[in-house]
Amino acid sequence: MMDVEIELEPILKALASSRRLQILEWLRDPVANFPPQQHGDPIKHGACNQYIVDKLGVSQPAGSRHLKVLVDAGLVIASPRKGWTYYRRDEARISEIKRHLNEL
Amino acid sequence: MMDVEIELEPILKALASSRRLQILEWLRDPVANFPPQQHGDPIKHGACNQYIVDKLGVSQPAGSRHLKVLVDAGLVIASPRKGWTYYRRDEARISEIKRHLNEL
DNA sequence: CTGCTGGATAACGACTTAGTTATGAAGTTA
DNA sequence: TAACTTCATAACTAAGTCGTTATCCAGCAG
């Protein structure tokens, strides 16, 4: 496996929030953790913004910003699709990050 | 190994700082990373506060507080010994934490 | 077009973080 | 005793985080 350079600090800052840890946990299984979606495929594209915001119990802007932090850190992938935005874990990147965390 | 409950958020907050990541890295090998100590055993008790502060390049109170954050998070053990305070990694706890991080 | 919904952004306030200087307690040395 | 060293703590400031409400844009339904 290649040794990829990763800046750990911004990733750890993104992870250092119980709200965001909770989102990551939920996104491990979107089907089990969110209501059924008529529009996007929860497996392929993830859960939509609003379901996550509702379950978090914070205002919509607050939830959106948590999601943006996760996206900016590379932990989550956003898929905007005509009006909705779906979020799913970036499992490849998360595995990479775990490898680096194991070298702490 | 038993499944120990660990609150990840405060630990991640402690880790989410390049300064503190640097300290943890240095403490992996106190003998290599710090000047020789006349007083305490660097292997057994770790490096003294001042060496760490000097190498960090911040004021003494700033360095002391970073170390306190690491101690409070359980990542580092402080050993006060008549006038000096030595710091070393808590490897057992760090391993435990890594196991939890792998379940992200 | 009008209105409704999903989502992003701006602006603001409360709180926390990270740095500084100043000070003080405890131990060592002359 | 006096002076110095090590370290912790208090007080202050600048900047970042996290919540809110208000606003705006895009897409869909009537």
* Contact between chains at B12 and A8 (C-beta distance less than 8 A): no
pLDDT of residue A74: 97
For the CA of B83 and the C1' of D2, the distance in angstroms is 19
* Contact between chains at A94 and B101 (C-beta distance less than 8 A): no
SS3 content of chain A, % helix, strand, coil (to 5): 50, 15, 35
Taking 90 as the threshold, does the pLDDT of residue A39 lie above it? Answer: no
CA-based nearest distance B61→chain A, Å: 22
pLDDT of residue B53: 97
Q: Which residues contact B31 (CB under 8 A, 6 or more apart)?
A: B42, B43
**A75-91 pLDDT per residue, tens:** 999 999 888 999 999 99
* Contact between chains at B15 and A98 (C-beta distance less than 8 A): no
CA dihedral B16, B18, B89, B26 (to 10 degrees): 170
Low-confidence ranges of chain B (pLDDT < 70): 1-3
CA-based nearest distance A69→chain B, Å: 14
Please report, rounded to a whole number, the percentage of residues in chain A having pLDDT higher than 70: 96
Q: Which residues contact B75 (CB under 8 A, 6 or more apart)?
A: B11, B14, B15, B24, B89, B90, B93, B94, B97
